[in-house]
C-alpha cells in the first residue's frame, strides 16, 4: 500500500524504538540522580557546589515526574497514527 513513501513507519513498528528510548532516558535520569546525591554528600552545606548539586537533583526529579506524561504522549501518537492508517487518511 504505502511501501515506498517516507514517514510511513509511525505505527506499531515505531513503538519498540520509542519504548527502548523511554527506558534508556529513565535509566540515565536514575543514574544521574544517584550520582548527584552521592556527590552532594561530599560538599559542605550551603556551599556553591552543594547548592548546585541540590538544584540538579531537583531538576532531574522534576524531569522524572514527567515521564508518565511523555509515555502517554508517545502511545497516543502511535494510536492516532494507526487509526489514520486504518481509515486510510495517510
Label each residue of the chain as H, E or C. Answer: CCCCCCCCCCCCHHHHHHHHHHHHHHHHHHHHHHHHHHHHCCCCCCCHHHHHHHHHHHHHHHHHCCHHHHHHHHHHHHHHHHHHHHCCCC
Range of the domain at 57: 13-86
Q: What is the pLDDT of residue 1?
A: 45
22 inside domain: yes
68-81 tens-digit pLDDT: 898 898 888 888 88
8-58 tens-digit pLDDT: 555 667 677 878 888 899 999 999 999 999 999 899 998 999 999 999 999
2 inside domain: no
Q: What is the pLDDT of residue 15?
A: 73
42 inside domain: yes
Q: What is the pLDDT of residue 11?
A: 61
Q: What is the pLDDT of residue 90?
A: 58
46 inside domain: yes
Q: Considering its fold, how many domains does the chain have in total? A: 1
74 inside domain: yes
Amino acid at each position: 500500500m504505502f511501501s515506498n513513501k517516507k514517514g510511513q513507519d509511525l505505527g506499531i513498528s515505531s513503538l519498540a524504538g520509542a519504548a527502548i528510548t523511554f527506558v534508556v532516558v529513565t535509566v540515565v535520569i536514575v543514574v544521574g540522580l544517584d550520582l548527584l546525591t552521592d556527590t552532594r554528600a561530599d560538599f559542605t552545606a550551603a556551599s556553591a557546589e552543594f547548592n548546585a548539586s541540590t538544584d540538579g537533583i531537583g531538576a532531574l526529579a522534576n524531569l522524572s515526574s514527567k515521564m508518565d506524561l511523555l509515555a502517554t504522549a508517545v502511545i497516543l501518537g502511535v494510536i492516532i497514527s494507526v487509526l489514520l492508517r486504518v481509515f486510510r487518511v495517510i
